[in-house]
Structure 1
Amino acid sequence: GATDLLIDPRNPDVLYAATWQRHRTVAAYLGGGPGSGLHKSTDGGETWIKLTNGIPKSNLGKIGLAMSPFNPDVIYAAIELDRRKGGLFMSTNRGESWTKQSDAVSGGTGPHYYQELYASPHHEGKLFLMNNYVQISDDHGKTFKTMNEKNKHVDSHAMAFKPSDPNYVLFGTDGGLYESFDLTKSWKYIRNLPITQYFKLAVDDSKPFYKIYGGTQDNGSHGGPSQTMWSDGIANSDWWKTLGADGHQSAIEPGNPNITYGEFQRGALWRIDQTTKETVFIQPQPRAGDPYERFNWDAPILVSPHDPKRLYFASYRVWRSDNRGDDWNPISNDLTLNQDRLTLPMYGKQQSWDNAWDVYAMSDYNTITSLAESPKQEGLLYAGTDDGIIQITEDGGNSWRQFSLNTITGLGDVPFVNDIRADLHDANVVYAAVDNHKYGDYKPYILKSSDKGKTWKIISGDLPDTLLVWRLVQDHVNKNLIFAATEYGIYFTYNGGTNWVQLKSGIPTISFRDITIQRRENDLVGASFGRGFFVLDDITPIRNFNASIMSAEATLFPIKDAYWYKESSRVGSQGDAEYKAPNAPFGARFTYFMADKVQSLKDVRKEREKKNTDFPGWEALEKEINQDGPEILLIIKDGNGNIINTVKGTNKKGFNRVNWRLNYPDKRGERLKAPSGGGFRSRGGVMVTPGTYSATLVKRVDGETTVLQGPQQFNVVPMYDGALPRKSYEEINQFREQVFAFQQDLNATNLMMTNQIQKVGAMKRAANKTTAPNDALLKDINAARLSLLAIQKELSGDPVKDQVGENSAPTPNNGNRVAFSALSNTYGPTGNQMASFNRAKNQLQGIKAKLKSAANTLSSIETRLRQAGAPWIEGQGLID
């Protein structure tokens, strides 16, 4: 295929292309051949000529091209030659002839991994050759020096220039994006792109939030929380690096999240103490007289489901440790085909030693790639290989029997075993994901055996034909529910493999290399290759889904217990330079399925018009316009059956998911004008206390409420105990009810205060419009106005002092804020807060008495105004 393309800016029909002939199988890699070369077209790609003058006649490998921005006649080519050698070539006559400038070639894991070439638009003759450490030439490629990579990830593959700034460069690396504003002297890392490529993952059982671990492409292995207590979500700083290099599989000791395992390429296995962050190298080592220990690039780790201290690890044989990797013993001989990879066919035949072999940065071959042990039968182990074999032992490794996958029609000669999963419910059943893509076959191969691996059948069902499957996970509750991580997203089957459904909401259609279920939380966790980790909170609805649900009007699924705590903010307004993943929504989550949306009259008409468009009639349209649209609601009740809140749900066909933040509704009272966002506004700080609650799913149509399903019970449980013992829940509840009552009283007083001041202003304006001036009336109105302003000062503070920022004496509004703060945590009210609250209550009673008296005075003045012929004032009602 083609590796690079240049377009002459003076004539878009003039093209230069580099081609690359190579062949890579699971076993080996040929990095060059006669199909590699330089080519030119002068007719927009219709025809091409091969450029050979000055180009070596050996097997060329990967070629990178660059055109001089100063003179498009000048072309540069970074060419890979035999055995990882190469050179920088230059043409000054549009590719007609070439001269070798130097022996420069990319190194590191090999030229095939780099070789991209860039010419600076600001400095003639300045070239950048992508490499593990970028090489820079200032003399058209005659000499190169190593670029400053301090504080930057190595392994660069792409770069860009800014036309207006000669000192700016942007580099794309295995570690992300870096920019320099001083021509590579210093670097700024772009930290808000979630683009990590994860190979494998593991989850622990930490409380309250479990942690996720995973190995990445050239970014080491990471660990981090699935959720935090912070309102800003999960930040970069919440993650830590457990190992370096290329990270691969991680593993966790069940019941002890402080002991984890990780590895980098070729089986470099480490035990990691998450308390001290220290690592211990525990890779099994060959014994005296043993051959080289062949490990797969991504060697499998297995913690036994029968003993958390027992580990299994694999090279070309299976190893066992009963003391967390301190000591190892092999429990098998070589379980692979044990071949010499250079004797295997490439391009369909045996290749000469002189051809472009390069296995320098490849995995070893004839290795074990996947391990599983039945949780139902100790010692029943499965080992899958990269050369088409599944090995089975039922006695802990004393004896093994082999199943060759090439005996299954259509699976190819040597399919790669990506994954083996022993069934969680039946010792006889085992699953495997098999891969043939390096031999040109991208079909999904999911296999099942019901006789401990003696015979197998394909259960890929209706999966797309070009859907490579990487990993599997079976639900620990529903044996027929299996999830598959594939090259194009995540799929699941609810009937053991006959039918598969893609999960689409919230996840991109990209490669997912691993998948698992955190069993305590019932969360599905996926490792994507390019977008980080994804979590699907609580798969219970998928687990319980069946045909009868589709026919029911609505189904409310079981509700997971909700943690009781206060989300906190740890940062201020620091911009968007850091990536933050959102937490799972706080509170209780309700999931329900609707066979169809609840239709309004307008919905019914539009549905009918799909068949026949007729005029519905004026009366029907009037009903449609006047209808208060149908609503889906969840009625939340406490353990005593008292309604706590009403949560507005979504009204759509299929799965719906809404959240309740464990809060009471805003009980300050309702104004005539609805607040923005609808009538179910809330102040999220006033939470319920822990206890048993229920949710009932209802629909409300034209004022009539119909129960769809429920109630479903769930618990609100405290997430932690504070450093100090909190107030009793009874004390918190009693104080909350007092505050709610006071807030209504205060809100009504504030509103009446505002209305009375507005009213006295209207009365003054009306008095000026009477048929005969009345000085006594105006004087009484002014006295009433001054009286109201004095009362308002007691209620809200001194307006004169407020103009210059001076503080007023405490008011009921101040006390309300103090009281509300007492309800904004899980500790409960302090004595000081209750004293402030009681002061505010007493103040409010005195203010209310004065305000009632002032209102009576205004009423009598209003009567005199009407008698004096003043015009109507808002609030007086209809005119007799």
Structure 2
Amino acid sequence: VYVCSQHVHRSLGRGRPGTWQTISPDLSKADPGRIAESKLTNLQYATIYHFAESPVKPGVLWAGTDDGNLQMSPDAGVTWINITAKFYDNAGKLKKNHPQGAVLPYDRWVTRVEPSNHDVDVCYVTYSGYRTHSEDTSFIYVTRDGGKTWEDLSGGMGNPVRDIEEDPDNPNVLYLATDYGVYVTLDQGKNWMKLSSNEPDVIMMDMDIQARERDLAVASYGRGFWIVDIQPFKEFDKDLFEKDAYLFEPQRAVKWAMIERRGQSYGEFASTPNPPVEASFYFWLKNKVDKVKVVVKDLEGNELQSITGGKDPGLHKVTWSMRQPQPQDEDGGFRGRGRMVDAGTYLVCLMVGDEEVASQKVSVIDDPILNRY
């Protein structure tokens, strides 16, 4: 367990008393003027704002402070390297022999350090100048050599940045929480675009990715939080955009056992309804087409449902109810909706016009909680 102040503290005993040790010096600039100012306001300075350990190699530690220092330890805290000090002297002047590549800021607030899920030498760092310099500027950097040199990934954006997350399956894809919503890049920061067309332009404070389910959880400043399905992004690469049509690998679908329960308190009454029980399929179109369908079949080729999809260029989503076709009565009418399909594997086909252009298999499973009883 790690806890940070201006130092990094570590417990190898799950935080139990007597197991804590301090494994770093003061990693901040420790400016007496800033420290005195923090005692008079609600803004803290000279503290470690964000800390992270490499998921690739335990013991590779990164720390960013609210007064602009970026520090890195390659050996679990035995030694610390002040990355910022490689660029600036103690007075904040840029050194003539500073590292080549992008120049990191001196005294901006380090809002996030994000070691890569794929490469121990890669780490993303974001800064914000809004709190100290009233800047609407994006500071986004990446190192690919353990902090020796840096690249600017801002792509000309002008949004203060709060968080950055790397896709757990596709290192080309990055998600960015800013003061004006969430952005995504599919090409390592060369181009950024809004993640959703209907998300409000509000301050997004924090993000986290549930890697197994490929869900991006986004928390805003006072406007609640969102959970976004990022399943298709793991397959995005430059070759995909050259394809006329593409059907993404579906996420496994769960037949959740839904139980309606009336709340007995205000908190329960105010809860949000659960999403419908359905499977989601994503496809890509390079150009506008006349007709698109996604057809779900069993492995014997029997059609279960045909779903009309969007026809414009870009990414599209359709949903399958995971139900059998409606049964017919003796007079040729219908008797309500069909029952849920059995757990198993099904075939998903993308039809453009009358031609099948792609297919994938989707796994349907029962609610895991049903196996506990």
**Coarse TM-score class (shorter-chain normalised):** 0.7 to 0.9
How do 1:451-462 residues align onto structure 2 when only pairs under 5 Å count? 451-462=145-156
Letter of the 2:45 partner, please give it. Y
* Residue 637 of structure 1 pairs with residue 297 of structure 2: yes
* Residue 365 of structure 1 pairs with residue 45 of structure 2: yes
Shift of 1:497: 1.5
Call closer, same or farther: CA 1:684–1:328 in 2, change over 3 Å.
farther
Shift of 1:402: 0.8
Letter of the 1:401 partner, please give it. I
Gaps of 5+ in 1: 1-310, 345-356, 600-630, 676-680, 726-880
How do 1:408-423 residues align onto structure 2 when only pairs under 5 Å count? 413-423=106-116
Letter of the 2:223 partner, please give it. R
How do 1:393-472 residues align onto structure 2 when only pairs under 5 Å count? 393-404=73-84, 407=94, 413-437=106-130, 438-463=132-157, 465=158, 467-472=159-164
Shift of 1:380: 1.2
Shift of 1:312: 1.3
Q: Deviations over 1:293-319 (max 9, x none)?
A: xxxxxxxxxxxxxxxxxx111111110
8 Å contact 2:30–2:46 — kept in the other structure?
Answer: yes
* Residue 319 of structure 1 pairs with residue 9 of structure 2: yes
Structure 2 residue aligned with 1:646: 306
Partners of 2:241 and 2:144 in 1: CA distance: 31
8 Å contact 1:563–1:719 — kept in the other structure?
Answer: yes
Call closer, same or farther: CA 1:342–1:534 in 2, change over 3 Å.
closer
Letter of the 1:322 partner, please give it. L
SS at match of 2:274: coil
* Residue 568 of structure 1 pairs with residue 262 of structure 2: no
Structure 2 residue aligned with 1:720: 368
Structure 2 residue aligned with 1:660: 320
Shift of 1:587: 2.0
Which one of 173, 176, 181 corresponds to residue 481 of structure 1? Answer: 173
Shift of 1:458: 1.6
Structure 1 residue aligned with 2:210: 518
Partners of 2:296 and 2:61 in 1: CA distance: 49
Call closer, same or farther: CA 1:567–1:650 in 2, change over 3 Å.
farther
Partners of 2:243 and 2:277 in 1: CA distance: 29
Call closer, same or farther: CA 1:451–1:546 in 2, change over 3 Å.
closer
Shift of 1:529: 1.1
Shift of 1:342: 6.1
Partners of 1:670 and 1:594 in 2: CA distance: 42
Partners of 1:372 and 1:724 in 2: CA distance: 35
* Residue 503 of structure 1 pairs with residue 195 of structure 2: yes
Which one of 242, 247, 267 corresponds to residue 556 of structure 1? Answer: 247
8 Å contact 2:35–2:46 — kept in the other structure?
Answer: no
Q: Deviations over 1:145-193 (max 9, x none)?
A: xxxxxxxxxxxxxxxxxxxxxxxxxxxxxxxxxxxxxxxxxxxxxxxxx
Call closer, same or farther: CA 1:581–1:392 in 2, change over 3 Å.
same
Letter of the 2:296 partner, please give it. I
Partners of 1:412 and 1:477 in 2: CA distance: 30
Call closer, same or farther: CA 1:687–1:442 in 2, change over 3 Å.
same
Call closer, same or farther: CA 1:331–1:410 in 2, change over 3 Å.
closer
Partners of 1:715 and 1:497 in 2: CA distance: 33
Q: Deviations over 1:216-260 (max 9, x none)?
A: xxxxxxxxxxxxxxxxxxxxxxxxxxxxxxxxxxxxxxxxxxxxx
Which one of 507, 513, 529 corresponds to residue 221 of structure 2? Answer: 529
Shift of 1:643: 2.4
Call closer, same or farther: CA 1:596–1:583 in 2, change over 3 Å.
farther
Shift of 1:639: 2.5
Partners of 2:146 and 2:273 in 1: CA distance: 42
How do 1:346-365 residues align onto structure 2 when only pairs under 5 Å count? 359-365=39-45
8 Å contact 2:327–2:338 — kept in the other structure?
Answer: no
Partners of 2:38 and 2:35 in 1: CA distance: 14
Partners of 2:129 and 2:105 in 1: CA distance: 7
Shift of 1:724: 10
Letter of the 2:295 partner, please give it. I
Q: Which has the larger radius of gyration?
A: 1
8 Å contact 1:696–1:707 — kept in the other structure?
Answer: yes
Letter of the 1:515 partner, please give it. M
8 Å contact 1:448–1:457 — kept in the other structure?
Answer: yes
Partners of 2:3 and 2:251 in 1: CA distance: 36
Call closer, same or farther: CA 1:682–1:520 in 2, change over 3 Å.
farther
Give me the identity figure in percent: 31
Partners of 1:377 and 1:399 in 2: CA distance: 16
Call closer, same or farther: CA 1:550–1:379 in 2, change over 3 Å.
closer
Partners of 2:335 and 2:257 in 1: CA distance: 16
Partners of 1:641 and 1:436 in 2: CA distance: 58
Gaps of 5+ in 2: 89-93
Q: Deviations over 1:344-396 (max 9, x none)?
A: 8xxxxxxxxxxxx7834524421111111112222111111112211111111
8 Å contact 2:180–2:203 — kept in the other structure?
Answer: yes
Which one of 676, 679, 688 corresponds to residue 341 of structure 2? Answer: 688
Structure 1 residue aligned with 2:70: 390
SS at match of 2:324: strand
Shift of 1:660: 0.9
Structure 1 residue aligned with 2:58: 378
Call closer, same or farther: CA 1:336–1:706 in 2, change over 3 Å.
same
Letter of the 2:305 partner, please give it. N
SS at match of 1:664: coil
Letter of the 2:283 partner, please give it. Y
SS at match of 1:384: strand
TM-score, normalised by the number of residues in structure 1: 0.38
8 Å contact 1:383–1:420 — kept in the other structure?
Answer: yes
Call closer, same or farther: CA 1:430–1:641 in 2, change over 3 Å.
same
SS at match of 2:241: helix
8 Å contact 1:525–1:533 — kept in the other structure?
Answer: yes
SS at match of 2:368: coil
8 Å contact 2:61–2:74 — kept in the other structure?
Answer: yes
Partners of 1:378 and 1:597 in 2: CA distance: 48
8 Å contact 2:257–2:367 — kept in the other structure?
Answer: no
SS at match of 1:541: helix
SS at match of 1:686: coil
Structure 2 residue aligned with 1:591: 282
Q: Deviations over 1:627-679 (max 9, x none)?
A: xxxx432222213333233233333332211111110121216989xx9xxxx
Shift of 1:528: 1.1
Q: Which runs of 4+ in 1 moved over 6 A?
A: none
SS at match of 1:341: helix
Aligned-pair Cα RMSD in Å: 3.0
Count of aligned residue pairs for this structure pair: 355
Structure 2 residue aligned with 1:49: none
Partners of 1:654 and 1:510 in 2: CA distance: 25
Letter of the 2:13 partner, please give it. N
Letter of the 1:652 partner, please give it. D
Structure 2 residue aligned with 1:708: 357
Call closer, same or farther: CA 1:684–1:330 in 2, change over 3 Å.
farther
SS at match of 1:550: helix
8 Å contact 1:381–1:396 — kept in the other structure?
Answer: yes
More relative contact order, 1 or 2 (CA 8 Å, 6+ apart): 2
Shift of 1:567: 2.7
Call closer, same or farther: CA 1:420–1:515 in 2, change over 3 Å.
same
Letter of the 1:368 partner, please give it. I
